[in-house]
Structures are given as structure tokens and as C-alpha cells.
């Protein structure tokens, strides 16, 4: 039976009046008050109604409470046991989830129930729905300006360990043999030799490959690869065994790490192994990035505010993450920018200016974003300084895109357009022959003239490279670096650097809700600034030397000289 309380209707009597004004004020200024007042009632509980009968069975746990608890679990990086204790005893959790009754039915949720509901939320994809709905609520509540945003990726790891190549082979074999022994012991006893089993799964031996000398690693790796080939061929005709996931991992490992030539196995060189190859049989979805290592990557886009050099930041409006997605580590960043723009456009919080690094700022991405009304501010790929004269050193007409002057100031004799986007500019051969930059210039010589060819794409990149050399671009692009701080807070404040789970679906659930948790923490911090600024308007300080009048910023500091001492007053 579906159990849902009404959190929209205001109660006639306040159940929290026993707290007293000071403790109540602390709760209202914390994430707990923010969650209870603005977010709890927005949880889309109707998305999981179909998993429960309307009038049959025992009543479920209160759905707002369970979903809210799973969200707060990720925000505070808690285990299931910690969540059970927090719901039972933590006043902040009671206030946030609006739990007013003292019964075990309201203040106790066992770990098994948490796992059951988490599985339902993952199946329904409720993590993304929660993130979008609650983030949009925070954007509206704090009137966050989404016109300026920035995007970047950061690396995270699931709950798996790094394996060397030989360990990867042996652990995968061990996993298959244990599964085979558990599911079909008769087949295991009849086909698997005792010496072969002793090599991998017998506890007394500790595994004969557990302490391989570096000098013998290549020889041992060859032997393990031959054992994998033996197992794959041994069970290739058994349909029941072929359907085991551990057998599929054996075949995948063999195809990715080895090649079979005339029924003999050869180990591929590390450079030949694809980046999306198996990294650990406990987490088949994790892949490899040559720069960041094994695991997953998170794509995040957030709002930001440009602050004048002499100005104070408005801390009553938080920077919020508007888009988050989880990908295997080997995915290219350039593929992430269009889904991010499309997602925010559909929700009405798309940026007008989007800052990103060079990997996102390909010409194709810039043009597609421009068609959607988004200006991408990013440096171009490639070296920034070159001794040679580049196309960006020429002067172009802003309207037509045609060359007006060469770097030495000479005008072209004629410009022709061939095809749909190819341009050819002819110059005087007399000028080019005596030019001091002749050897470094991209100009080409013919009998009667010289010329330079370029396409519309080359023109756009040249204009962007020229703009990158200006102080205007440097002043704009300096705000992109702020998202590195967001990546750091995301990992440290919510524990996202190393998750408790494995598998893309579970990692996605955990990582997305942690991003929402960071939005809640930032909004709660901004809420405390808002309450201060509403409470204090004008502060007058009278000293022996002067009177200071000022409209207060919540964290404004006054430095007053008295008796040759410096006093600091912080609000």
C-alpha cells in the first residue's frame, strides 16, 4: 500500500515549537531548513507509484521520507547503517524530512528497505529527475542568473582496486572458476584439473601468481593468457556456461588483451589495448583514461558570477550546478557539450555564454551551440605561438570574411570563392618576392602571382586565435578556472572521489545525487547570508576619532584604530 503524506498543506499547530527560537533559527539557516521548506514537497514520488499496489499489502514507509533520506545519504556520504541511525536520532534529519511522530514506524528504516528503494530509484532513473526538478526549484528560489555558465569534467572512481595486468588476468579467471564451482559443481569437478584450480582459487596456496617476480612477469603473463584461452575453448560449446557473465568477461579479456594466431595466444602490447578495455571484473563498466586513470568521469556545468576587481561578491545567490552526467573514463569531452546545452534548453536554464577548455571548443561545437543561441568561449586546440606567419596574422573583413591586408599591409589583387566554402586570395608577386617574411608566410608562388587559400572553417579558427591574443578574451576566460574549485568541493564535501558502489547505473545514481547535494549545501550557505542581510540594514559605529555609517554586507569587516590597536569586527 502506497503511503504518502501531504507536505504542502500548512499545519494549524507548529510541531517544532518545542525547539525554542534559537535552535529553530539554527535549523532554518541550515541545509535542513532549506530542504524542508523548499525541496521536500517537490520530490516526484508519483514516479514510483507503479511499484506498489494501491489498496493491498502492508503500507510502505513514507515515500517522501525514504527518497529524501537516500538523497541526504549521498550529500553527506553516509553508509546505510549511518542513514538508519540518522533517521532514528538526528534532529536535523527529522526537521529536514518533516518527521514529527516518535514512533518506530516514522523514525526507523532498516538497511534492507533502503537497498530496496534505491534499486527502484535506479531502475526508474529518478536520480536525474530529482536533480533537475530540485535544482530548477533552487534556481527559481534564489533567482540565479543562468546566462553565464562553465563546463568541465572530473575523474571519479568506483569501489574497485587498481589491478596490474597479471592481476587482472588472474582475478578474472578466479571469478569464473568460483562462479562455475558454485553454479555447476559437477562440471567443475569433471573438467577442471585440481592443479589448475590450485593455481587460482585454493586458499592454502594464496594463488601462485600472488608474488610474481618482475623478471618472471612476462613468462607468467603468457601462462595466464594460455589458461584463459583454454577455459574459453573448453566451454565454448556449453550454452549454459556461455550465458554466465563471468565467462563473458573471460572472452572480453581475451579479445582485448590478446590475439589468437593458429590456436596460439599472443599478448598485445599495452599501446594496442583499447582504452575501453576491462579494468576490473568487479566493475566491467569502468574504463581507462591515459591522463586520469581507471574509473569514470563526471561532466558538470555550473553558473557563475563575474565580479569587478574592486567589487564584493553577492554571496546571497549561489553558483549552482545545472547539468551533470556520468560517463566511462575513456569518453571524449568534446561529445559532452551539446547534450548539456540541449538539457538546459529544455528546462529553461540554458546559458548565453558557456566557458570551457579547448577540448570542448571545437569549431563544430562552437557552430552548433551558436545555432542554439549559446556563445562558446574557449581557446582553440594547437600551439599558441609559432615563428611562422599564420592565417590569423592577416586582416579580414568582419562582414564578408575576405582578406583585406596581408601581415605587411598589402591588399590582395583579387579574391575568388570556389565551391561552397573555399577562398583564394591573389597577391602581387613583386611584393612577396622582396618580403622579409617570405620564408615564414603561408603564401604560395606561381609564375605571375602569389596566392593563399583558406576555408570558412580555417577562417573562423583564425579569427578565434586572433581574439585569444586580446585582453578582452583573457578577462572573460579567467572565470573558467573557477569550476576547478567546484570539482574539488564536489569530491571533498560529498565524498565523490571514491564512491561506495560499482557499475555505471549505481555510480550514476550516486554521483548525480551528490551533485544535487552540493547544490543544497551551497544554497544553504547563501540562505544564511540572505537572512543576515535582511536582519541588519544600517550599522553605525561611533569611535573617538570618527563615525562610520555603512549599508552592511553580511561579512563586511570594519577595521577601527583605537589606542594604537587594530580591532576587527566581523558580522
Is residue 497 included in any domain, yes or no?
Answer: yes
Pairwise pLDDT comparison (474 vs 198), residue with the higher score: 474
Task: State residue 204's pLDDT score.
Answer: 41
Q: Give pLDDT tens digits for 341-354.
A: 999 999 999 999 99
* Mean pLDDT of the region 118-134: 94
CA distance 470 to 286: 41
Exposed e or buried b per residue across 9-39, where buried means at least 16 C-beta atoms within 10 angstroms of its C-beta: eeeeeeebeeeeeeebeebbbbbbbbbbebb
Q: How far apart are the first and last CA of the chain?
A: 51
442 and 471 assigned to the same domain: yes
pLDDT tier at 152, thresholds 50, 70, 90 = very high
Only one residue has cell 602569389, namely 450
Q: Give pLDDT tens digits for 192-238.
A: 888 888 888 764 444 555 555 555 555 688 889 999 999 999 999 99
Mean pLDDT of the chain: 85
Is residue 549 included in any domain, yes or no?
Answer: yes
Q: Is the pLDDT of residue 373 over 80?
A: yes
Task: State residue 92's pLDDT score.
Answer: 94
Is residue 32 included in any domain, yes or no?
Answer: yes
Q: Is the pLDDT of residue 429 over 90?
A: no
27 and 80 assigned to the same domain: yes
Pairwise pLDDT comparison (149 vs 464), residue with the higher score: 149
554 and 519 assigned to the same domain: no
Q: Is the pLDDT of residue 89 over 70?
A: yes
Report the Cα 273 to chain-centroid distance in Å.
26
Task: State residue 146's pLDDT score.
Answer: 95
Which of 434-438's residues contact partners 24+ apart within 8 Å by CB, and which partners? 435/408, 437/389, 437/407, 437/408
Q: Is the pLDDT of residue 553 over 60?
A: no
pLDDT tier at 548, thresholds 50, 70, 90 = very low
* Mean pLDDT of the region 153-159: 95
Range of the domain at 554: 538-570
Task: Name beta bridge partners: 154.
Answer: 298
CA angle 351, 507, 178 (to 5 degrees): 160
169 and 257 assigned to the same domain: yes
CA distance 252 to 244: 13
Q: Is the pLDDT of residue 430 over 50?
A: yes
Exposed e or buried b per residue across 70-88, where buried means at least 16 C-beta atoms within 10 angstroms of its C-beta: bbbbbbbbbebeebbebbe
Task: State residue 256's pLDDT score.
Answer: 94
Q: How far is CA 412 from CA 404, 428, 437, 444, 548, in A?
A: 7, 7, 16, 13, 66
Task: State residue 488's pLDDT score.
Answer: 94
Q: List the CATH number of the domain containing 512.
A: 3.30.420
Q: Is the pLDDT of residue 534 over 60?
A: no
CA distance 496 to 517: 11
Instruction: Tell me what percent of the residues of the chain surpass a pLDDT of 90.
Output: 54
Q: Is the pLDDT of residue 495 over 50?
A: yes
Angle, helices 363-371 vs 456-468, to 10°: value is 90
Residue 177 CB contacts under 8 Å (≥ 6 apart), including other chains: 188, 192, 197, 200, 201
Q: Containing H/E element for 485?
A: helix 482-494
Assess contact for 483 and 378: CB atoms under 8 A: no
Total structural domains within the chain: 5
Task: State residue 545's pLDDT score.
Answer: 38
Pairwise pLDDT comparison (545 vs 55), residue with the higher score: 55
425 and 489 assigned to the same domain: no
Task: State residue 147's pLDDT score.
Answer: 95
Task: State residue 437's pLDDT score.
Answer: 79
Is residue 12 included in any domain, yes or no?
Answer: no
220 and 316 assigned to the same domain: no
362 and 402 assigned to the same domain: no
CA distance 122 to 101: 29
Is residue 138 included in any domain, yes or no?
Answer: no
Is residue 553 included in any domain, yes or no?
Answer: yes
Residue 362 CB contacts under 8 Å (≥ 6 apart), including other chains: 334, 381
Task: State residue 309's pLDDT score.
Answer: 61
Task: State residue 214's pLDDT score.
Answer: 56
* Mean pLDDT of the region 267-290: 92
CA distance 301 to 486: 10
Task: State residue 559's pLDDT score.
Answer: 40
Rg (CA), the chain: 32
Is residue 104 included in any domain, yes or no?
Answer: yes
198 and 245 assigned to the same domain: yes
Q: Is the pLDDT of residue 319 over 80?
A: yes
Assess contact for 65 and 99: CB atoms under 8 A: yes
Task: State residue 555's pLDDT score.
Answer: 41
92 and 21 assigned to the same domain: yes
List the single range of 88-92, 125-129, 460-464 with lowest mean pLDDT.
460-464
87 and 109 assigned to the same domain: yes
* Mean pLDDT of the region 396-408: 76
Q: Give pLDDT tens digits for 27-70.
A: 998 999 999 999 999 999 888 888 887 777 788 888 999 999 99
424 and 396 assigned to the same domain: yes
Is residue 11 included in any domain, yes or no?
Answer: no
Task: State residue 530's pLDDT score.
Answer: 65
518 and 545 assigned to the same domain: no
Pairwise pLDDT comparison (516 vs 551), residue with the higher score: 516
Q: Is the pLDDT of residue 369 over 70?
A: yes
Residue 383 CB contacts under 8 Å (≥ 6 apart), including other chains: none
pLDDT tier at 431, thresholds 50, 70, 90 = confident
- Range list of β-strands (E), 91-198: 148-156
Amino acid at each position: 500500500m502506497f503511503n504518502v503524506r501531504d507536505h504542502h498543506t500548512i499545519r494549524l499547530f507548529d510541531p517544532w515549537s518545542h525547539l525554542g527560537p534559537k535552535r529553530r533559527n539554527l535549523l532554518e539557516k541550515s541545509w535542513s531548513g532549506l530542504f524542508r521548506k523548499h525541496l521536500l514537497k517537490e520530490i516526484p514520488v508519483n514516479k514510483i507509484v507503479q511499484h506498489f499496489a494501491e489498496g493491498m499489502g502492508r503500507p510502505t514507509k513514507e515515500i517522501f521520507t525514504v527518497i529524501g533520506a537516500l538523497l541526504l545519504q549521498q550529500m553527506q556520504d553516509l553508509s546505510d547503517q549511518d542513514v538508519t541511525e540518522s533517521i532514528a536520532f538526528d534532529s536535523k534529519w527529522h526537521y529536514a524530512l518533516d518527521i514529527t511522530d516518535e514512533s518506530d514506524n516514522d523514525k526507523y528504516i532498516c538497511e534492507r528497505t533502503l537497498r530496496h528503494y534505491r534499486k527502484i530509484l535506479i531502475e526508474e532513473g529518478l536520480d536525474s529527475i530529482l536533480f533537475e526538478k530540485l535544482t530548477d526549484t533552487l534556481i527559481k528560489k534564489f533567482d540565479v542568473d543562468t546566462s553565464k555558465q562553465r563546463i568541465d569534467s572530473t575523474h571519479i572512481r568506483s569501489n574497485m582496486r587498481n589491478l596490474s595486468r597479471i592481476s587482472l588476468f588472474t582475478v578474472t579467471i578466479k571469478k569464473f572458476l568460483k562462479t562455475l564451482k558454485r553454479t555447476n559443481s559437477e562440471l567443475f569437478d569433471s573438467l577442471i584439473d585440481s592443479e589448475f584450480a590450485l593455481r587460482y582459487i585454493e586458499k592454502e596456496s594464496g594463488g601462485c601468481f600472488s608474488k610474481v617476480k618482475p623478471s618472471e612477469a612476462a613468462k607468467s603473463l603468457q601462462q595466464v593468457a594460455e589458461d584463459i584461452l583454454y577455459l574459453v575453448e573448453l566451454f565454448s560449446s556449453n550454452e549454459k556456461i556461455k550465458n554466465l557473465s563471468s565467462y563473458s568477461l573471460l572472452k572480453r579479456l581475451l579479445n582485448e588483451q590478446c590475439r589468437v594466431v593458429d590456436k596460439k595466444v599472443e599478448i598485445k602490447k599495452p599501446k594496442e589495448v583499447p582504452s575501453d578495455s576491462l579494468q576490473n571484473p568487479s566493475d566491467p563498466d569502468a574504463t581507462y583514461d591515459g591522463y586520469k586513470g581507471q574509473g569514470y568521469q563526471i561532466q558538470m556545468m555550473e553558473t557563475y558570477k563575474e565580479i569587478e576587481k574592486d567589487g564584493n561578491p553577492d554571496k546571497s545567490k549561489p553558483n549552482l550546478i545545472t547539468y551533470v552526467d556520468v560517463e566511462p573514463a575513456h569518453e571524449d569531452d568534446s561529445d559532452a557539450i551539446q547534450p548539456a546545452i540541449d538539457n538546459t534548453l529544455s528546462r529553461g536554464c540554458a546559458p548565453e555564454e558557456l566557458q570551457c577548455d579547448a577540448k570542448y571548443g571545437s569549431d563544430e561545437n562552437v557552430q552548433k551551440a551558436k545555432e542554439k543561441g549559446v556563445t562558446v568561449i574557449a581557446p582553440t586546440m594547437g600551439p599558441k605561438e609559432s615563428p611562422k606567419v599564420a592565417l590569423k596574422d592577416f586582416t579580414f573583413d568582419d562582414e564578408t570574411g575576405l582578406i583585406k591586408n596581408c601581415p605587411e599591409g598589402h591588399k590582395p589583387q583579387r579574391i575568388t570563392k570556389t565551391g561552397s566554402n573555399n577562398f583564394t586570395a591573389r597577391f602581387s608577386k613583386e611584393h612577396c618576392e622582396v618580403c622579409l617574411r617570405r620564408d615564414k608566410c603561408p603564401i604560395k608562388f606561381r609564375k605571375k602571382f602569389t596566392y593563399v587559400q583558406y576555408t570558412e572553417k580555417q577562417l573562423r579558427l583564425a579569427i578565434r586565435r586572433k581574439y585569444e591574443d586580446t585582453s578582452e578574451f583573457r578577462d572573460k576566460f579567467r572565470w573558467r578556472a573557477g569550476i576547478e574549485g567546484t570539482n574539488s568541493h564536489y569530491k571533498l564535501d560529498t565524498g565523490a572521489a571514491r564512491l561506495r558502489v560499482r557499475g555505471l547505473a549505481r555510480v550514476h545514481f550516486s554521483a548525480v545525487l551528490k551533485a544535487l547535494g552540493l547544490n543544497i549545501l551551497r544554497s544553504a550557505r547563501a540562505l544564511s547570508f540572505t537572512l543576515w542581510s535582511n536582519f541588519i540594514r544600517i550599522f553605525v559605529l561611533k569611535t573617538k576619532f570618527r563615525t562610520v555609517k555603512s549599508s552592511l554586507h553580511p561579512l563586511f569587516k570594519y577595521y577601527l584604530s583605537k589606542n594604537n590597536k587594530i580591532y576587527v569586527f566581523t558580522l
